[in-house]
Structure 1
Amino acid sequence: MKKLGLATALLLAMTGAQAYQFEVQGQSEFIDNTVNDKDFSGAVQGTYYFKDVDASKGPLAEAAFLNQASNVSASYTYGEYDVDADNIDQTSHTFGAKGEAYIPTKVVPAYASASYSHTITDNKGGVANDNGDRYALELGAVVAPNFLVAVGYTSVADQTSYDAFNMFNNGVAKAAIEKDTINEDQDAITARTKYVGAIDGTNMSIGFDAGLVYGEENAYNLGTTLYVTPKLSVGVSYLESDLADLNKAIGANVNYFITPAVAVGASFVDVNAENESRDTQTVGLNAKFRF
Protein backbone atom coordinates (compact mmCIF):
# COMPACT_ATOMS: atom_id res chain seq x y z
CA MET A 1 0.00 0.00 0.00
CA LYS A 2 2.88 2.38 0.77
CA LYS A 3 4.39 1.74 -2.64
CA LEU A 4 1.01 2.33 -4.30
CA GLY A 5 0.56 5.60 -2.43
CA LEU A 6 4.03 6.82 -3.41
CA ALA A 7 3.46 5.85 -7.04
CA THR A 8 0.11 7.65 -7.07
CA ALA A 9 1.62 10.82 -5.60
CA LEU A 10 4.43 10.76 -8.15
CA LEU A 11 2.00 10.21 -11.02
CA LEU A 12 -0.19 13.13 -9.90
CA ALA A 13 2.83 15.40 -9.66
CA MET A 14 4.19 14.45 -13.06
CA THR A 15 0.85 14.77 -14.83
CA GLY A 16 -0.06 18.17 -13.50
CA ALA A 17 -1.49 18.27 -9.98
CA GLN A 18 -2.62 21.85 -9.27
CA ALA A 19 -1.92 21.84 -5.52
CA TYR A 20 1.29 21.07 -3.64
CA GLN A 21 2.74 21.23 -0.14
CA PHE A 22 6.42 20.43 -0.76
CA GLU A 23 8.92 21.97 -3.15
CA VAL A 24 12.45 20.69 -3.79
CA GLN A 25 14.89 22.66 -5.93
CA GLY A 26 18.41 22.11 -7.18
CA GLN A 27 20.82 24.29 -9.10
CA SER A 28 24.42 24.69 -10.21
CA GLU A 29 26.39 27.74 -11.31
CA PHE A 30 29.55 27.87 -13.38
CA ILE A 31 31.76 30.86 -12.53
CA ASP A 32 34.10 32.51 -15.04
CA ASN A 33 36.29 35.50 -14.19
CA THR A 34 39.59 36.96 -15.29
CA VAL A 35 41.59 34.89 -12.80
CA ASN A 36 39.87 31.51 -13.08
CA ASP A 37 37.25 29.87 -15.29
CA LYS A 38 36.91 26.56 -13.42
CA ASP A 39 34.93 27.59 -10.32
CA PHE A 40 31.44 26.27 -9.67
CA SER A 41 28.71 25.91 -7.07
CA GLY A 42 25.94 23.41 -6.43
CA ALA A 43 22.88 23.92 -4.23
CA VAL A 44 19.69 22.29 -3.00
CA GLN A 45 16.70 23.84 -1.23
CA GLY A 46 13.55 22.30 0.24
CA THR A 47 10.34 24.05 1.36
CA TYR A 48 7.34 22.79 3.30
CA TYR A 49 4.09 24.78 3.18
CA PHE A 50 1.73 24.46 6.11
CA LYS A 51 -1.30 24.33 3.79
CA ASP A 52 -1.78 23.15 0.22
CA VAL A 53 -0.70 25.76 -2.32
CA ASP A 54 -3.23 26.32 -5.11
CA ALA A 55 -1.29 26.63 -8.38
CA SER A 56 -4.34 26.94 -10.65
CA LYS A 57 -4.36 30.75 -10.87
CA GLY A 58 -1.65 33.12 -12.02
CA PRO A 59 2.01 32.35 -12.79
CA LEU A 60 3.07 28.92 -11.54
CA ALA A 61 6.40 30.32 -10.35
CA GLU A 62 4.58 32.69 -7.96
CA ALA A 63 1.92 30.30 -6.65
CA ALA A 64 3.21 30.39 -3.06
CA PHE A 65 3.41 34.20 -3.03
CA LEU A 66 -0.06 34.61 -4.56
CA ASN A 67 -1.46 32.20 -1.96
CA GLN A 68 0.37 33.96 0.90
CA ALA A 69 1.60 30.50 1.86
CA SER A 70 3.39 30.30 5.22
CA ASN A 71 6.34 27.91 5.13
CA VAL A 72 9.62 26.66 6.50
CA SER A 73 12.64 25.88 4.33
CA ALA A 74 16.22 24.67 4.40
CA SER A 75 19.04 25.39 1.95
CA TYR A 76 22.60 24.23 1.30
CA THR A 77 25.19 25.54 -1.18
CA TYR A 78 28.62 24.07 -1.97
CA GLY A 79 31.18 26.15 -3.85
CA GLU A 80 34.78 26.04 -5.03
CA TYR A 81 36.89 29.13 -5.72
CA ASP A 82 40.55 29.11 -6.73
CA VAL A 83 42.95 31.93 -7.70
CA ASP A 84 46.38 30.57 -8.53
CA ALA A 85 48.03 34.00 -8.69
CA ASP A 86 46.90 34.88 -5.14
CA ASN A 87 47.37 31.35 -3.74
CA ILE A 88 43.65 31.16 -2.89
CA ASP A 89 42.07 27.72 -2.80
CA GLN A 90 38.70 27.66 -1.04
CA THR A 91 35.83 25.27 -0.55
CA SER A 92 32.68 26.82 0.89
CA HIS A 93 29.65 25.26 2.57
CA THR A 94 26.63 27.44 3.41
CA PHE A 95 23.64 26.07 5.36
CA GLY A 96 20.43 27.91 6.06
CA ALA A 97 17.03 27.59 7.74
CA LYS A 98 14.13 30.01 7.27
CA GLY A 99 10.51 30.50 8.23
CA GLU A 100 7.95 32.77 6.57
CA ALA A 101 4.48 33.61 7.89
CA TYR A 102 1.52 35.52 6.49
CA ILE A 103 -0.84 36.54 9.30
CA PRO A 104 -4.40 37.77 8.57
CA THR A 105 -5.41 40.97 10.36
CA LYS A 106 -8.45 43.27 10.20
CA VAL A 107 -6.47 45.78 8.12
CA VAL A 108 -4.04 43.97 5.78
CA PRO A 109 -2.20 40.62 5.92
CA ALA A 110 0.96 40.94 8.01
CA TYR A 111 4.23 39.28 7.00
CA ALA A 112 7.17 38.04 9.07
CA SER A 113 10.27 36.00 8.32
CA ALA A 114 13.31 34.83 10.26
CA SER A 115 16.39 33.05 8.96
CA TYR A 116 19.74 31.71 10.07
CA SER A 117 22.74 30.95 7.83
CA HIS A 118 26.11 29.39 8.61
CA THR A 119 29.11 29.41 6.27
CA ILE A 120 32.12 27.11 6.58
CA THR A 121 35.11 28.21 4.51
CA ASP A 122 37.78 25.52 4.06
CA ASN A 123 40.99 27.32 3.07
CA LYS A 124 43.94 25.37 1.75
CA GLY A 125 47.55 26.37 1.30
CA GLY A 126 48.22 27.23 4.96
CA VAL A 127 45.37 29.80 5.34
CA ALA A 128 43.20 29.38 8.44
CA ASN A 129 39.68 28.01 8.01
CA ASP A 130 36.67 30.20 8.75
CA ASN A 131 33.17 29.77 10.23
CA GLY A 132 30.57 32.54 10.14
CA ASP A 133 26.96 33.03 11.21
CA ARG A 134 24.23 35.46 10.26
CA TYR A 135 20.71 36.08 11.49
CA ALA A 136 17.97 37.99 9.71
CA LEU A 137 14.47 39.15 10.62
CA GLU A 138 11.85 40.82 8.41
CA LEU A 139 8.48 42.40 9.20
CA GLY A 140 6.03 43.74 6.67
CA ALA A 141 2.56 43.66 5.18
CA VAL A 142 0.72 42.89 1.97
CA VAL A 143 -0.41 46.51 1.54
CA ALA A 144 -2.37 45.84 -1.67
CA PRO A 145 -3.31 42.66 -3.54
CA ASN A 146 -0.06 40.77 -4.29
CA PHE A 147 2.06 43.76 -3.18
CA LEU A 148 4.45 43.04 -0.28
CA VAL A 149 6.46 45.67 1.59
CA ALA A 150 8.96 44.54 4.25
CA VAL A 151 11.82 45.95 6.33
CA GLY A 152 14.41 43.89 8.13
CA TYR A 153 17.47 43.61 10.33
CA THR A 154 20.51 41.42 9.59
CA SER A 155 23.35 40.62 11.99
CA VAL A 156 26.59 39.27 10.51
CA ALA A 157 29.40 37.74 12.58
CA ASP A 158 33.06 38.70 12.39
CA GLN A 159 33.73 35.98 9.82
CA THR A 160 32.77 35.33 6.23
CA SER A 161 29.06 34.55 6.11
CA TYR A 162 26.59 34.39 3.21
CA ASP A 163 22.81 34.44 3.16
CA ALA A 164 21.97 30.87 2.11
CA PHE A 165 18.64 31.85 0.55
CA ASN A 166 19.97 34.90 -1.28
CA MET A 167 22.75 32.68 -2.62
CA PHE A 168 20.29 30.08 -3.87
CA ASN A 169 17.62 32.41 -5.28
CA ASN A 170 19.82 35.15 -6.75
CA GLY A 171 23.14 33.43 -7.40
CA VAL A 172 26.57 33.34 -5.78
CA ALA A 173 27.85 36.52 -7.46
CA LYS A 174 25.04 38.72 -6.11
CA ALA A 175 25.24 37.06 -2.69
CA ALA A 176 28.96 37.89 -2.58
CA ILE A 177 28.28 41.56 -3.34
CA GLU A 178 25.59 41.64 -0.64
CA LYS A 179 27.98 40.00 1.85
CA ASP A 180 30.74 42.53 1.10
CA THR A 181 28.26 45.43 1.25
CA ILE A 182 27.28 44.52 4.82
CA ASN A 183 30.87 43.48 5.66
CA GLU A 184 31.90 41.39 8.66
CA ASP A 185 30.88 42.03 12.28
CA GLN A 186 28.16 44.42 11.18
CA ASP A 187 24.47 45.08 11.58
CA ALA A 188 22.45 45.99 8.51
CA ILE A 189 18.99 47.37 7.76
CA THR A 190 17.17 45.98 4.73
CA ALA A 191 13.99 46.90 2.88
CA ARG A 192 12.24 45.31 -0.07
CA THR A 193 9.04 45.29 -2.09
CA LYS A 194 7.48 42.68 -4.36
CA TYR A 195 4.49 42.82 -6.68
CA VAL A 196 2.91 40.33 -9.10
CA GLY A 197 -0.14 41.21 -11.17
CA ALA A 198 -2.04 40.15 -14.27
CA ILE A 199 -1.86 42.15 -17.50
CA ASP A 200 -5.45 42.97 -18.42
CA GLY A 201 -6.80 41.33 -21.54
CA THR A 202 -3.97 38.82 -21.83
CA ASN A 203 -2.77 35.53 -20.36
CA MET A 204 0.36 37.30 -19.14
CA SER A 205 1.44 38.71 -15.79
CA ILE A 206 4.19 41.08 -14.68
CA GLY A 207 6.31 41.09 -11.55
CA PHE A 208 8.48 43.77 -9.96
CA ASP A 209 10.83 43.66 -7.00
CA ALA A 210 13.22 46.13 -5.39
CA GLY A 211 15.50 46.00 -2.37
CA LEU A 212 17.88 48.10 -0.27
CA VAL A 213 20.75 47.11 2.04
CA TYR A 214 22.29 49.57 4.53
CA GLY A 215 25.43 48.07 6.06
CA GLU A 216 29.09 49.07 6.04
CA GLU A 217 28.27 50.17 2.48
CA ASN A 218 24.91 50.53 0.74
CA ALA A 219 23.35 48.60 -2.14
CA TYR A 220 20.09 48.48 -4.05
CA ASN A 221 18.59 46.07 -6.54
CA LEU A 222 15.78 46.19 -9.07
CA GLY A 223 14.16 43.36 -11.00
CA THR A 224 11.25 42.67 -13.30
CA THR A 225 9.80 39.43 -14.64
CA LEU A 226 7.39 38.93 -17.53
CA TYR A 227 5.25 35.81 -17.22
CA VAL A 228 4.59 35.19 -20.89
CA THR A 229 2.25 32.36 -19.93
CA PRO A 230 1.56 30.80 -16.51
CA LYS A 231 4.32 28.31 -17.39
CA LEU A 232 6.99 30.52 -19.01
CA SER A 233 8.79 33.52 -17.52
CA VAL A 234 11.75 35.73 -18.47
CA GLY A 235 13.34 38.23 -16.12
CA VAL A 236 16.09 40.83 -15.82
CA SER A 237 17.72 42.36 -12.74
CA TYR A 238 20.21 45.05 -11.74
CA LEU A 239 22.25 45.32 -8.52
CA GLU A 240 24.54 48.21 -7.57
CA SER A 241 26.67 48.69 -4.46
CA ASP A 242 28.90 51.43 -3.05
CA LEU A 243 31.75 48.91 -2.96
CA ALA A 244 34.94 50.14 -4.57
CA ASP A 245 35.58 46.95 -6.55
CA LEU A 246 32.77 44.50 -7.41
CA ASN A 247 29.87 46.93 -7.46
CA LYS A 248 27.49 46.29 -10.36
CA ALA A 249 25.69 43.15 -11.49
CA ILE A 250 23.25 42.63 -14.35
CA GLY A 251 21.27 39.40 -14.52
CA ALA A 252 18.83 37.59 -16.79
CA ASN A 253 16.85 34.38 -16.31
CA VAL A 254 14.29 32.15 -17.99
CA ASN A 255 12.11 29.50 -16.34
CA TYR A 256 9.63 27.01 -17.77
CA PHE A 257 7.20 24.61 -16.10
CA ILE A 258 7.09 21.38 -18.07
CA THR A 259 4.11 20.44 -15.92
CA PRO A 260 2.62 22.37 -12.98
CA ALA A 261 4.89 20.25 -10.78
CA VAL A 262 8.19 20.18 -12.71
CA ALA A 263 10.19 23.21 -13.86
CA VAL A 264 13.59 23.93 -15.38
CA GLY A 265 15.45 27.19 -15.81
CA ALA A 266 18.67 29.01 -16.67
CA SER A 267 20.29 32.22 -15.46
CA PHE A 268 23.17 34.55 -16.36
CA VAL A 269 24.85 37.20 -14.20
CA ASP A 270 27.55 39.68 -15.29
CA VAL A 271 29.49 41.47 -12.52
CA ASN A 272 31.52 44.57 -13.33
CA ALA A 273 34.73 45.23 -11.34
CA GLU A 274 35.62 48.90 -11.74
CA ASN A 275 38.94 49.17 -9.94
CA GLU A 276 40.43 45.75 -10.63
CA SER A 277 40.58 43.32 -13.55
CA ARG A 278 38.24 40.73 -12.07
CA ASP A 279 35.00 40.92 -14.01
CA THR A 280 32.86 37.85 -13.37
CA GLN A 281 30.18 35.98 -15.29
CA THR A 282 28.07 33.12 -13.98
CA VAL A 283 25.82 30.71 -15.85
CA GLY A 284 23.29 28.74 -13.82
CA LEU A 285 20.98 25.80 -14.44
CA ASN A 286 18.14 24.87 -12.09
CA ALA A 287 15.22 22.50 -11.64
CA LYS A 288 12.32 22.24 -9.19
CA PHE A 289 9.83 19.55 -8.26
CA ARG A 290 6.55 20.04 -6.38
CA PHE A 291 4.35 17.45 -4.73
Structure 2
Amino acid sequence: MKFKYLALPLMICSATVSAEEYTSISEANYSEAEKSFGDVDQFDIGTTYFFAPKETMGPLKEFEYINKTSNLFAGYSYQDYDGDADILAVGGEYFAANGLVVGGSVADFEGDNRYRASVGYLFSPNFLLSLESEKWEDRDADYFVNASYNHQLSGNDYIGFSFSTDDNFDSRTLSSKFFKELGGETWFTANASYTANDDFEDIWLVGTEYYFSKATSIFANYNKEETLGLGVSHFFNRNIAGNIAYTTNSDTDVDTFLLGVTVQL
Protein backbone atom coordinates (compact mmCIF):
# COMPACT_ATOMS: atom_id res chain seq x y z
CA MET A 1 0.00 0.00 0.00
CA LYS A 2 1.39 3.36 -1.01
CA PHE A 3 0.57 6.04 1.52
CA LYS A 4 1.44 9.69 1.63
CA TYR A 5 0.05 12.30 4.01
CA LEU A 6 -0.24 15.61 2.23
CA ALA A 7 -0.58 19.02 3.80
CA LEU A 8 -2.08 20.46 0.66
CA PRO A 9 -1.41 24.13 0.06
CA LEU A 10 -4.37 26.36 0.58
CA MET A 11 -3.37 29.86 -0.40
CA ILE A 12 -5.45 32.80 -1.64
CA CYS A 13 -6.40 34.27 -5.02
CA SER A 14 -7.57 37.87 -5.52
CA ALA A 15 -6.44 41.41 -6.22
CA THR A 16 -6.93 44.77 -4.56
CA VAL A 17 -6.18 48.38 -5.40
CA SER A 18 -3.59 48.52 -2.59
CA ALA A 19 -1.95 45.20 -3.50
CA GLU A 20 1.78 44.79 -2.88
CA GLU A 21 4.18 42.83 -5.08
CA TYR A 22 6.99 40.50 -4.00
CA THR A 23 9.49 38.24 -5.77
CA SER A 24 10.86 36.39 -2.75
CA ILE A 25 9.40 35.04 0.48
CA SER A 26 11.66 33.76 3.28
CA GLU A 27 10.78 32.35 6.70
CA ALA A 28 12.73 31.35 9.80
CA ASN A 29 11.03 29.60 12.72
CA TYR A 30 12.17 28.32 16.10
CA SER A 31 9.95 25.96 18.08
CA GLU A 32 10.21 24.16 21.40
CA ALA A 33 7.99 21.18 22.14
CA GLU A 34 7.57 20.27 25.80
CA LYS A 35 7.02 16.51 25.80
CA SER A 36 6.82 14.00 28.64
CA PHE A 37 10.29 12.64 27.83
CA GLY A 38 11.92 16.06 27.46
CA ASP A 39 12.04 19.18 25.32
CA VAL A 40 12.55 19.03 21.55
CA ASP A 41 14.03 22.12 19.90
CA GLN A 42 13.61 22.69 16.16
CA PHE A 43 14.83 25.38 13.75
CA ASP A 44 13.42 25.76 10.24
CA ILE A 45 14.44 28.17 7.50
CA GLY A 46 13.17 28.36 3.93
CA THR A 47 13.02 30.69 0.97
CA THR A 48 11.21 30.83 -2.37
CA TYR A 49 12.23 33.04 -5.29
CA PHE A 50 9.65 33.82 -7.98
CA PHE A 51 10.69 34.76 -11.52
CA ALA A 52 7.85 37.30 -11.73
CA PRO A 53 6.24 39.49 -9.06
CA LYS A 54 3.60 37.88 -6.86
CA GLU A 55 0.69 40.17 -5.99
CA THR A 56 -1.02 40.13 -2.61
CA MET A 57 -4.78 40.18 -2.23
CA GLY A 58 -5.05 42.71 0.57
CA PRO A 59 -3.43 40.92 3.54
CA LEU A 60 0.33 41.07 3.05
CA LYS A 61 0.85 37.33 3.50
CA GLU A 62 -1.97 36.14 1.24
CA PHE A 63 -1.37 35.24 -2.41
CA GLU A 64 -3.23 33.44 -5.18
CA TYR A 65 -4.69 30.01 -4.36
CA ILE A 66 -3.14 28.34 -7.41
CA ASN A 67 0.41 29.50 -7.98
CA LYS A 68 1.13 30.20 -11.65
CA THR A 69 4.63 31.69 -11.34
CA SER A 70 7.88 29.80 -11.97
CA ASN A 71 10.01 29.56 -8.86
CA LEU A 72 12.98 28.05 -7.05
CA PHE A 73 12.93 27.10 -3.37
CA ALA A 74 15.22 25.78 -0.66
CA GLY A 75 14.71 24.78 2.96
CA TYR A 76 16.64 23.52 5.96
CA SER A 77 15.35 21.98 9.20
CA TYR A 78 17.33 21.10 12.33
CA GLN A 79 15.99 19.20 15.35
CA ASP A 80 17.79 18.71 18.63
CA TYR A 81 16.85 15.96 21.10
CA ASP A 82 19.27 13.35 22.44
CA GLY A 83 21.43 14.07 19.40
CA ASP A 84 20.49 16.03 16.34
CA ALA A 85 18.88 15.52 12.94
CA ASP A 86 18.63 17.76 9.93
CA ILE A 87 16.87 17.94 6.56
CA LEU A 88 17.92 19.89 3.47
CA ALA A 89 15.66 20.31 0.43
CA VAL A 90 15.85 22.22 -2.88
CA GLY A 91 13.49 22.34 -5.84
CA GLY A 92 11.50 24.41 -8.27
CA GLU A 93 8.58 24.73 -10.68
CA TYR A 94 8.37 25.95 -14.27
CA PHE A 95 5.16 27.26 -15.83
CA ALA A 96 5.29 27.37 -19.64
CA ALA A 97 3.23 29.80 -21.69
CA ASN A 98 1.26 26.90 -23.24
CA GLY A 99 0.01 25.72 -19.81
CA LEU A 100 2.55 22.94 -19.22
CA VAL A 101 3.88 22.76 -15.65
CA VAL A 102 6.94 20.78 -14.54
CA GLY A 103 8.51 20.57 -11.11
CA GLY A 104 11.04 18.68 -9.08
CA SER A 105 12.82 18.55 -5.73
CA VAL A 106 15.43 16.58 -3.83
CA ALA A 107 15.67 16.29 -0.05
CA ASP A 108 18.36 14.80 2.18
CA PHE A 109 16.98 13.22 5.38
CA GLU A 110 20.13 12.32 7.31
CA GLY A 111 21.61 10.59 4.26
CA ASP A 112 18.32 9.09 3.06
CA ASN A 113 17.49 10.98 -0.13
CA ARG A 114 13.98 11.61 -1.44
CA TYR A 115 13.33 12.65 -5.05
CA ARG A 116 10.12 14.18 -6.38
CA ALA A 117 9.13 15.03 -9.95
CA SER A 118 5.84 16.31 -11.33
CA VAL A 119 4.25 17.24 -14.62
CA GLY A 120 0.93 18.98 -15.00
CA TYR A 121 -1.26 21.22 -17.10
CA LEU A 122 -2.94 24.51 -16.24
CA PHE A 123 -6.25 24.10 -18.04
CA SER A 124 -7.31 27.60 -16.95
CA PRO A 125 -6.12 30.15 -14.38
CA ASN A 126 -8.45 28.38 -11.94
CA PHE A 127 -7.78 24.68 -12.61
CA LEU A 128 -4.50 22.76 -12.34
CA LEU A 129 -4.04 18.99 -12.73
CA SER A 130 -0.70 17.24 -12.14
CA LEU A 131 0.95 13.82 -11.79
CA GLU A 132 3.70 13.38 -9.20
CA SER A 133 6.26 10.68 -8.45
CA GLU A 134 8.12 10.24 -5.17
CA LYS A 135 11.20 8.03 -4.89
CA TRP A 136 13.24 7.21 -1.80
CA GLU A 137 16.61 5.55 -2.12
CA ASP A 138 16.38 1.73 -2.21
CA ARG A 139 12.57 1.85 -2.45
CA ASP A 140 10.03 1.69 -5.23
CA ALA A 141 8.55 4.94 -6.47
CA ASP A 142 5.08 6.06 -5.40
CA TYR A 143 2.77 7.99 -7.74
CA PHE A 144 0.09 10.58 -7.01
CA VAL A 145 -2.57 12.58 -8.82
CA ASN A 146 -3.15 16.16 -7.63
CA ALA A 147 -5.83 18.67 -8.63
CA SER A 148 -6.60 22.23 -7.54
CA TYR A 149 -9.62 24.36 -8.43
CA ASN A 150 -10.37 27.96 -7.51
CA HIS A 151 -13.95 29.26 -7.66
CA GLN A 152 -14.04 33.05 -7.69
CA LEU A 153 -16.95 34.64 -5.83
CA SER A 154 -17.93 38.31 -5.79
CA GLY A 155 -15.05 40.79 -5.65
CA ASN A 156 -11.99 39.21 -4.08
CA ASP A 157 -13.93 36.48 -2.28
CA TYR A 158 -13.24 32.89 -3.32
CA ILE A 159 -13.39 29.26 -2.30
CA GLY A 160 -10.63 26.87 -3.36
CA PHE A 161 -10.45 23.08 -3.40
CA SER A 162 -7.52 20.65 -3.67
CA PHE A 163 -7.59 16.86 -4.01
CA SER A 164 -4.78 14.30 -3.97
CA THR A 165 -4.68 10.51 -4.18
CA ASP A 166 -2.07 7.82 -4.63
CA ASP A 167 -2.16 5.55 -7.68
CA ASN A 168 -3.94 2.79 -5.75
CA PHE A 169 -6.55 5.18 -4.36
CA ASP A 170 -5.59 3.97 -0.87
CA SER A 171 -5.17 7.48 0.52
CA ARG A 172 -7.34 10.45 -0.50
CA THR A 173 -6.99 14.01 0.75
CA LEU A 174 -9.56 16.74 0.13
CA SER A 175 -8.95 20.26 1.37
CA SER A 176 -10.64 23.62 0.96
CA LYS A 177 -10.16 27.27 1.88
CA PHE A 178 -12.62 30.15 1.93
CA PHE A 179 -11.55 33.81 1.73
CA LYS A 180 -13.85 36.76 2.33
CA GLU A 181 -13.29 40.49 2.58
CA LEU A 182 -15.42 41.87 5.41
CA GLY A 183 -14.95 45.56 4.62
CA GLY A 184 -12.94 48.26 6.35
CA GLU A 185 -9.68 46.47 5.42
CA THR A 186 -10.58 43.36 7.41
CA TRP A 187 -10.67 39.79 6.07
CA PHE A 188 -11.68 36.30 7.18
CA THR A 189 -10.49 32.85 6.10
CA ALA A 190 -11.65 29.33 6.97
CA ASN A 191 -9.97 26.11 5.94
CA ALA A 192 -10.47 22.37 6.36
CA SER A 193 -8.80 19.17 5.20
CA TYR A 194 -9.73 15.49 5.43
CA THR A 195 -7.54 12.48 4.62
CA ALA A 196 -9.22 9.09 4.20
CA ASN A 197 -6.92 6.05 4.47
CA ASP A 198 -7.83 2.44 3.78
CA ASP A 199 -5.27 1.06 6.24
CA PHE A 200 -4.86 3.96 8.67
CA GLU A 201 -7.12 6.16 10.74
CA ASP A 202 -8.63 9.09 8.90
CA ILE A 203 -7.18 12.55 9.58
CA TRP A 204 -8.93 15.92 9.65
CA LEU A 205 -8.05 19.53 10.41
CA VAL A 206 -10.04 22.77 10.62
CA GLY A 207 -8.75 26.31 10.97
CA THR A 208 -9.62 29.98 10.69
CA GLU A 209 -7.84 33.33 10.50
CA TYR A 210 -9.10 36.87 11.04
CA TYR A 211 -7.26 39.93 9.69
CA PHE A 212 -7.69 43.14 11.68
CA SER A 213 -5.78 44.86 8.87
CA LYS A 214 -3.58 43.82 5.97
CA ALA A 215 -0.68 43.59 8.45
CA THR A 216 -2.16 41.88 11.54
CA SER A 217 -4.07 38.64 12.04
CA ILE A 218 -4.94 36.01 14.63
CA PHE A 219 -5.53 32.35 13.81
CA ALA A 220 -6.69 29.10 15.36
CA ASN A 221 -6.80 25.45 14.27
CA TYR A 222 -7.88 22.08 15.66
CA ASN A 223 -7.35 18.50 14.46
CA LYS A 224 -8.56 14.96 15.08
CA GLU A 225 -5.76 14.31 17.58
CA GLU A 226 -7.35 17.08 19.72
CA THR A 227 -4.44 19.44 19.18
CA LEU A 228 -5.42 23.09 19.50
CA GLY A 229 -3.29 25.78 17.90
CA LEU A 230 -3.44 29.56 18.43
CA GLY A 231 -1.28 32.30 16.98
CA VAL A 232 -0.78 35.88 15.85
CA SER A 233 1.05 37.38 12.87
CA HIS A 234 2.05 41.03 12.38
CA PHE A 235 3.94 42.91 9.66
CA PHE A 236 6.06 45.71 11.13
CA ASN A 237 6.42 47.13 7.62
CA ARG A 238 5.73 45.81 4.10
CA ASN A 239 8.78 43.52 4.26
CA ILE A 240 9.18 42.08 7.76
CA ALA A 241 6.69 40.16 9.90
CA GLY A 242 6.79 38.39 13.24
CA ASN A 243 4.81 35.26 14.15
CA ILE A 244 3.97 33.69 17.50
CA ALA A 245 2.10 30.38 17.86
CA TYR A 246 1.18 27.94 20.61
CA THR A 247 -0.22 24.41 20.31
CA THR A 248 -1.39 22.10 23.06
CA ASN A 249 -2.73 18.57 23.34
CA SER A 250 -4.23 17.55 26.69
CA ASP A 251 -4.28 13.87 25.72
CA THR A 252 -0.54 13.57 24.97
CA ASP A 253 0.43 16.44 27.31
CA VAL A 254 2.54 18.09 24.58
CA ASP A 255 2.85 21.87 24.40
CA THR A 256 4.71 23.62 21.56
CA PHE A 257 5.80 27.25 21.37
CA LEU A 258 6.90 28.85 18.09
CA LEU A 259 8.57 32.15 17.21
CA GLY A 260 9.01 33.09 13.56
CA VAL A 261 10.17 35.84 11.21
CA THR A 262 9.02 36.35 7.62
CA VAL A 263 10.84 38.52 5.07
CA GLN A 264 9.10 39.40 1.79
CA LEU A 265 11.01 41.37 -0.86
TM-score by length of 1: 0.63
Aligned to 2:89: 95
Aligned to 1:213: 195
Query: Any conservation in 1 of the 2:66–2:126 contact (CA below 8 Å)?
Result: no
Aligned to 1:178: none
Aligned to 1:191: 174
The alpha-carbon deviation at position 144 of structure 1 amounts to: 2.5
1:261 partnered with 2:255: no
Query: Any conservation in 2 of the 1:117–1:135 contact (CA below 8 Å)?
Result: yes
**Residue among 139, 152, 164 paired with 1:152:** 164
Q: Which amino acid aligns with 2:58?
A: G
Q: 1:117 to 1:81 in 2, by over 3 A?
A: farther
Query: Any conservation in 1 of the 2:132–2:146 contact (CA below 8 Å)?
Result: no
Query: Any conservation in 2 of the 1:59–1:230 contact (CA below 8 Å)?
Result: yes
**Residue among 217, 223, 227 paired with 1:249:** 227
Give aligned pairs, total: 214
Three-state SS of the structure 2 residue aligned to 1:61 is: coil
Aligned to 2:98: none
Aligned to 2:24: 22
Identity %: 17
For structure 1, which runs of at least 5 residues remain unmatched after alignment?
A: 1-16, 83-88, 121-130, 156-185, 241-246
Aligned to 1:86: none
Q: Which amino acid aligns with 2:81?
A: Y
Aligned to 2:50: 49
In 1, the alpha carbon distance for the partners of 2:136 and 2:256 equals 21
In 2, the alpha carbon distance for the partners of 1:249 and 1:94 equals 27
The alpha-carbon deviation at position 81 of structure 1 amounts to: 3.2
The alpha-carbon deviation at position 135 of structure 1 amounts to: 7.0
Three-state SS of the structure 1 residue aligned to 2:257 is: strand
| Higher helix content, 1 or 2 | 1
Q: 1:52 to 1:254 in 2, by over 3 A?
A: same
1:284 partnered with 2:258: yes
Q: 1:35 to 1:266 in 2, by over 3 A?
A: same
Q: 1:112 to 1:270 in 2, by over 3 A?
A: farther
Which of structure 1's runs of 4+ aligned residues deviate more than 4 A? 66-69, 96-102, 112-120, 133-137
Three-state SS of the structure 1 residue aligned to 2:43 is: strand
Query: Any conservation in 1 of the 2:244–2:260 contact (CA below 8 Å)?
Result: yes
The alpha-carbon deviation at position 113 of structure 1 amounts to: 6.5
For structure 2, which runs of at least 5 residues remain unmatched after alignment?
A: 1-18, 96-100, 102-120
| Higher strand content, 1 or 2 | 2
Aligned to 1:59: 59
In 2, the alpha carbon distance for the partners of 1:256 and 1:118 equals 38
**Residue among 223, 226, 232 paired with 1:239:** 223
TM-score by length of 2: 0.68
In 2, the alpha carbon distance for the partners of 1:29 and 1:118 equals 29
1:110 partnered with 2:131: no
State the Cα RMSD in Å: 3.5
Q: 1:40 to 1:154 in 2, by over 3 A?
A: farther
In 1, the alpha carbon distance for the partners of 2:133 and 2:212 equals 35
